[in-house]
Structures are given as C-alpha cells and as structure tokens.
Amino acid sequence: MTSARQLLTAGVTALAPAIWGSVYLVTTEWLPPDRPLLAATVRALPSGLILLVFARTLPTGMWLWRALVLGTLNIGAFLFLLFVAAYRLPGGIAAVIMTAQPMFVLILAALFVGEKIRLMHVVACALGATGVVLLVFKGTVALDYVGVAAALGGAACMATGLTMTKRWGRPDGVGLLPFTGWQLVAGGLVLLPFTLAVEGLPATITGPNLLGFAYLISLGAVISYAIWFRGIERLPVVAVSFLALGSPIVATLLGYLFLHEALSVLQLVGILVIIVAASLAQPRPAKQRRLGPAVTTAQDPGRTSIEHGEQRRSR
C-alpha cells in the first residue's frame, strides 16, 4: 500500500473513534438516564441483526466460536467493563487507564501477528498516555479498585480483540458487513442478560430517546464498526490501536461546544500530543532503493555498445 493510501486509510479509520466520542454526548442528552447497559445493548444487538438480515450470511464451522470470541472481546465485554469503569472512576481516570490499550497491543501484536516492537511505538505510547492525562484528568481523586480493574480489563479486551481480528481476518467469501454483524450480535447477546438483570427495560420511551437509539444503531455501531474492522484489515494493528485515542478528543470538544464545558490550554496541548502520538504510530513509506550500476550503464549508451562488442569477441 502506498503512503498516500495508508494515510487515507488511517484517516477513514479514525472516523470510527471520532463517532464513538460523540456517543457520550448522545447518551447524556438523548438516552434514558443511568442505563449504560441498555445503551450498550441497543447499540450492538439491533444493529447486528439488521446487518444479518440484509447480508443473509451466518457463521459456520470454526467461525461460530470465533465470531463469539471476537464479538465478546471487541463489543460485549469491552462495553460492559467500560461502563463499569466510567461509573466508578470519576474525573476521567477511566480514560487515562484505557490508554494502556496500545501498550497491550504492542505485546500481543508481537506475539500473535509478528509486528515488531519499535522505539517509535514506545515513544508514541508515552505521548498518548501523557496527552490523555492532560485532556481528561482533573485534580486528585480516590481510586476505586473495582473501577481500576474494570478499566484495565476493558483495555485488555480491546487490545486482544484488535489483535485476534487481525490474526484471524475474515473467512473467504464473507463481506465486511456480515462479518461486522456477527460480532455485533455476539456482543449484544453477551450484554443482554446483564442489561435485563441489572437495569431492566425503561417504563417509557420519549422522542429524544428514539433519536438517540437510532444514532447508536446507525452511526454508533453499523457504520463505525464496519469502518473500524476495515481499518484493522488494511493497517498494522499497532497503528489502529493508537487511532482509538481520538475518542476522548471528540468527546472533549463536543462537551465544550454543546454542553458549555471548560476547555483549558492544557487540554488543547493534550489534544496536540495525542495527535502527534497517533501520527508517530502510523506506518512509514518504504524507502526506495538506489539503483546500482544498471542506471549508469543505461545512461551511457556508448559504454553499453563497447561492452556488448567485447562480449561478442570473447565468444
């Protein structure tokens, strides 16, 4: 893939975390309050079923358990742990801990995908964590160990799901949309019993609630996850993992624009640092090799004719 195409692919893939960053605003403004599991389930299960209805392709053979594993890691368990961490860790600490995800990916990608750990990746990890701290961390907060464990578990789920999606790829003859649908349905089914047992269903649904659910299903799941899995196929898994850091950037900017939240100079610096970290993690174009004596020979036709004559005389 040429450098221009890689840059374009990275830009398109970054749209998925950007959409996920907007989900925070939609959740707080349009969805029923205090129902994070309901939001996650509605985001995953209906969208996956819609994709399967249109694609009419179901997993078979080993892809039955692979789809379940990927759907659990990428969507079900990840979203569940993310919401637990968000509720138990105030002040953006959950987002800070989630920056461990690229570090996990570095190790897993080296073990299972064969991507080498480079110094630039380590530097990008440090910069990414620093940028998120500047962006979301506010003051000193007491750590809830269950919340910390949930945040680390969510980061590990996302990292493992990324890596295994890259390692297994897609089965032959299966398009991107049905592959996305498999994972969304699997993740939604994992979330459904927790949602019913812990939160239950809301007594009433308002017009804004319906708009919020429609946003979660369309942009928040169908479109964003299809873009995300496409990026995993076409880019190194480490490069994709750093693009996920764009989610807190969008969430912060939307909070400033629509919820009148403060935006400090340190937060702006944090945004720039995260962008630099994600850029450093992207693949670099291969350097073109210099042509050797063949170029010199081609540029000197007189010398070429002399050499050919000497070869004929030697015969």
pLDDT of residue 61: 95
CA distance 119 to 153: 26
When comparing pLDDT for 6 and 230, which is higher?
230
Output the DSSP codes for 302-314: HHHHHHHHHHHHH
Question: Which residue is associated with the tokens 């699997």?
Answer: 186
Question: Which residue is associated with the tokens 């500047």?
Answer: 134
Can you tell me whether residue 24 is helix, strand or coil?
A: helix
Domain ranges of the chain: 3-314
Q: Does the pLDDT of residue 145 top 60, yes or no?
A: yes
Report the predicted TM-score, pTM, of the whole model to 2 decimal places: 0.84
pLDDT band at 122 (very low <50, low <70, confident <90, very high): very high
pLDDT of residue 127: 94
pLDDT of residue 141: 58
- Least confident interval from 55-59, 141-145, 184-188: 141-145
CA distance 38 to 300: 74
pLDDT band at 4 (very low <50, low <70, confident <90, very high): confident
pLDDT tens sequence across 238-256: 999 999 999 889 988 998 8
pLDDT band at 86 (very low <50, low <70, confident <90, very high): confident
What are the structure tokens assigned to 11, written together?
Answer: 């830009």
Phi–psi pair at 119, nearest 5 degrees: -60, -35
CA distance 246 to 109: 21
What are the structure tokens assigned to 153, written together?
Answer: 């578990």
